[in-house]
Structure 1
Amino acid sequence: MGVKVYVSGISGNKEVKKRQQRVFMILESKNVPFVAVDITEPGKEDEKDFMQTNSTSLGCTVSDTSPRHPLPPQIFNDRDYCGDYDQFDLANEIDKLEQFLRVEVPNSNDNDESNNVIQEAQSKTQVAENELVNNVDDSVEKIETNGIASSREPSVESEKKTNGAEVAVDEEVVDDGEAAEEEADEEKNTTPSEELIRSEQEAAD
Structure 2
Amino acid sequence: MQMTCLRCILRFGNRKKGKAAFCVEAWLICLWDSPNCTMSINIYYSSITATVSLEKHQTHIFYILDGKGIKYRLMDLSEDPKLKDEMQSKIGNPDAMAPQIFNGDQYSGGYEAFEQAVECEMIEKILKLDSAQQQMQQK
Give the TM-score normalised by structure 2: 0.62
Q: 2:43 aligns to what SS in structure 1?
A: strand
State the AA in 2 paired with 1:45: P
2:81 corresponds in structure 1 to 45
1:79 corresponds in structure 2 to 105
1:31 corresponds in structure 2 to 69
Q: 2:101 aligns to what SS in structure 1?
A: strand
Identity over aligned pairs, percent: 31
Shift of 1:56: 5.3
Give yes or no for contact 1:5–1:74 (8 Å, CA) kept in 2: yes
Structure 1: distance between partners of 2:95 and 2:50: 15
Structure 2: distance between partners of 1:36 and 1:51: 12
Give the TM-score normalised by structure 1: 0.43
Moved over 6 A (4+): none
1:152 corresponds in structure 2 to none
2:91 corresponds in structure 1 to 55
Shift of 1:45: 2.8
Q: 1:95 aligns to what SS in structure 2?
A: coil
How well do the aligned residues superpose, as a CA RMSD in angstroms? 2.2
Structure 2: distance between partners of 1:45 and 1:14: 22
Q: 1:76 aligns to what SS in structure 2?
A: strand
Q: How many residues align?
A: 96
Give yes or no for contact 1:56–1:83 (8 Å, CA) kept in 2: no
Q: Cα deviation per residue 1:75-111 (whole Å; 9 max; x = unaligned)?
A: 01111111010100111111111110011445xxx8x
Q: 2:116 aligns to what SS in structure 1?
A: helix
Shift of 1:39: 0.7
State the AA in 1 paired with 2:68: K
Structure 2 unpaired stretches of 5+: 1-38
State the AA in 2 paired with 1:37: M
Q: Larger Cα Rg: Structure 1 or Structure 2?
A: 1
Q: Which has the higher contact order (CA 8 A, sep 6+)?
A: 2
